[in-house]
Amino acid sequence: MADLIPYHDRDGLIWMDGAMVPWRDAKVHLLTHALHYASSVFEGERAYDGEIFKLREHTERLIESARILDFTIPYSAEEIDQACRDVVKANNLSDCYVRPVAWRGSEQMGVSAQQAKIHLAIAAWDWGSYFPMEQRLKGIRITHAQYRRPDSACAPSKAKAAGLYMICTIEKHRAERQGYSDALMLDYRGRVAECTGANLFLIKDGVIHSPVPDCFLDGITRRTVIDLAKARGIEVIDRVIMPEELGSFSECFITGTAAEITPVSEIGEHRYKPGAITETLLGDYMNLVRPKARVAAE
């Protein structure tokens, strides 16, 4: 713990409700509705060489997530995009993580908060690989989660909402205490779903299989990787995958803005070896996200 740098006590600037404020002054009140009732949505974005990858897609998902949670962010997509760029520039960052977050404020306390002010803030900071590089290169180890992704009839599963990550934190902590990097979650029907913050891909006989994202996020990185695979002529099948099938695949990797493309070496008792398809897609992805690499390729 001594080596941790608290996120509230750093140098830099954060865009908050239309203005740049000193990092340490970007605060909310104890009785903010979002803290008590999870009325908050957010995005995770990465900038490479100073350019935020698929910024508009992230912004549009942020706005849609807020709509699903029954509030409207008081800024246009264009204004949010520009604020994200401004934050990266104001903090003199090139490769970094960008976190927009929108939430209900402190005007009302209770389940109903229709008159609460809607806030938007955007921070950016240096953040390397989500997993330690030595783990990532040989494949991370994943265990089985106990909690499951809920039915879309029971939770707003298409929103990137703070409340949906409560069980992810529980399972991530449980996995780390057991010596694993992450946990694989099933959905409410007992089907393979996703990890605590990343989508899952499995490979067999040169074909990529991925769980149907009908009760969890169809991630922006997930869709990007599917497009890259298809451009290579690699077949990708979205389908129901049951836990008993996990031992039949030869390769496995997860995807997400934070995780990028991360190979998996095991899920519980099942073993995988990062192979040609995983390595190819990882290379294609890194070439795509880096503007300088794209220019060189062209």
Q: Are 110 and 100 in contact (CB under 8 A)?
A: no
Active site residue 292: no
* CA separation for the pair 3, 65 (Å, rounded): 35
Q: Which of 27, 54, 158, 160 is catalytic?
A: 160
Q: Classify residue 141 as left (phi > 0), alpha (psi -120 to 50) or beta.
A: beta
Residues annotated as part of the active site: 160
